[in-house]
Structure 1
């Protein structure tokens, strides 16, 4: 009788896997490709790359970024390689203990035992690769007559919220640095 049951279950056609309908998250679609690309650089934890500003802090993330995690043959901790500009290297060097502590907290154990700093130039051939934010030009301040001009332009708008938004927009346009 058990042979008859197995024949029934095997003779039923297998259902095709139903495709999901609607939109899929990009992270879900690309997760395997992102994981493979980051593993080539030694990053078993991709969160270190994607959330670097949260892990290291915004001040460090502006001047340095992780490039590679190298593991030794003995397995006694890995080396994290950070990329920074030459002028910022001493600042990063000074904060290495805090960076190592934060990175190891992300991994959940003492995965990183050393941090190596690699320096690059902030401009030239390394510019697209460096990923550092260039300094934003300073906005100029509005003169009183310019501010009065912006206020008089939007004075006929009745909605206070809209008027305030238009004033802010006008001031931003007037103070935008000119190249």
Structure 2
């Protein structure tokens, strides 16, 4: 990758590749709160500087993990990321939405069993809440 990068433009491919692989590089929890903004030359002339955009509430956490992030990004891009700068602000890319859990329908016997188990509850609001909870638990597919 080091050899290929010398022939490619400095900014374009590296930042694009980094944005595509960001969640794989830093993990899903960090990818939700920060994202790569740009990659530039180091002021000292050796290596590059990665600028991360992160939400203000997570900036301290990102700062504490910046060395780990730098190492992972450096390995991913070929080994010359020397420093990380953190910019606070809203993320430009929204994190990918989690897939919705699949719901299945209750079988008639499951519905009857659930209804009979809540019949002894006298408070109607509580009975409805427990019934809704039971339906939610039984219809959530774990796969």
If the length of structure 2 is used for normalisation, what is the TM-score? 0.58
- Rounded Cα–Cα distance in structure 2 between residues aligned with 1:147 and 1:119: 40
Largest Rg, 1 or 2: 1
Do 1:55 and 1:102's aligned partners in 2 also have CA atoms closer than 8 Å?
A: yes
Match of 1:144 in 2: 130
Map 1:109-124 to 2 at 5 A: 109=79, 111-121=80-90
Q: RMSD over aligned Cα, in angstroms?
A: 3.2
Match of 1:63 in 2: 33
The secondary structure found in structure 2 opposite 1:76 is coil
Q: Which structure would you say has the larger RCO, counting Cα contacts within 8 Å and 6 or more residues apart? A: 2
Match of 2:117 in 1: none
Deviating 4+ runs (over 4 angstroms)? 147-150
Stretches of structure 1 that go unaligned for 5 or more consecutive residues are 1-38, 135-141, 151-163, 170-179
Q: Is it true that 1:89 corresponds to 2:59 in the alignment?
A: yes
1:67-91 Cα deviation digits (max 9, x unpaired) = 1000147640111000011111111
1:13-40 Cα deviation digits (max 9, x unpaired) = xxxxxxxxxxxxxxxxxxxxxxxxxx68
Match of 1:168 in 2: 140
